[in-house]
């Protein structure tokens, strides 16, 4: 089973090996639901990702446990921030995320 070494914006020396298929599904969903302008809270993004994945027949088999989509959303969010694909909007609470246009 292939994996991706995910980075963590909060802990630059930490790496997490994630299932490549799950990572790519969540990454694609996040890119589809996150706005490029304005922002979206983590909770709203997670809910939008779940709704986006509801039409994907692989979702139930790949994410059978309650909370597994949430866990992958957080892990992928931290990785995409570290890679500069998404960003947090500064000085906004709760945290707001958006896509970085250069990666569209």
Give the range of the structural domain holding residue 43, as residue numbers without chain letter: 3-8+15-103
Rounded to the nearest 5°, which phi and psi values hold at 3? -135, 165
Give the pLDDT mean for 8-19. 94
pLDDT digits (tens, 9 = 90+) for 37-56: 999 999 999 999 999 999 88
Mean pLDDT calculated for residue range 21-34 = 97
Instruction: Please say whether the beta carbons of 64 and 52 come within 8 A.
Output: no
pLDDT, residue 101, reads 83
Confidence of residue 104 (pLDDT cuts 50, 70, 90): very low
Over residues 3-13, the mean pLDDT reads 94
Number of domains composing the chain: 1
- Helix axis angle, 42-53 relative to 68-82, nearest 10°? 120
pLDDT of residue 23: 97
Contact indicator for 97, 42 with CB cutoff of 8 Å: yes
- What CATH code is carried by the domain that includes residue 70? 1.10.10
| pLDDT at residue 1, rounded to an integer | 76
Mean per-residue pLDDT, 60-82: 95
Higher confidence at residue 1 or residue 36? 36
């Amino acid at each position: 089973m292939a994996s991706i070494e995910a980075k963590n914006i909060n802990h630059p020396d930490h790496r997490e090996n994630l299932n490549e298929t799950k990572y790519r599904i969540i990454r694609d969903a996040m890119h589809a639901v996150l706005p490029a302008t304005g922002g979206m809270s983590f909770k709203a993004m997670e809910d939008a990702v779940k709704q986006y994945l509801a039409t994907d027949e692989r979702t139930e088999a790949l994410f059978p446990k309650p909370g597994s989509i949430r866990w992958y959303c957080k892990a992928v969010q931290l990785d995409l921030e570290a890679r500069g694909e998404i960003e947090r909007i500064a000085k906004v609470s709760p945290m707001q995320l958006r896509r970085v246009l250069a990666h569209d």
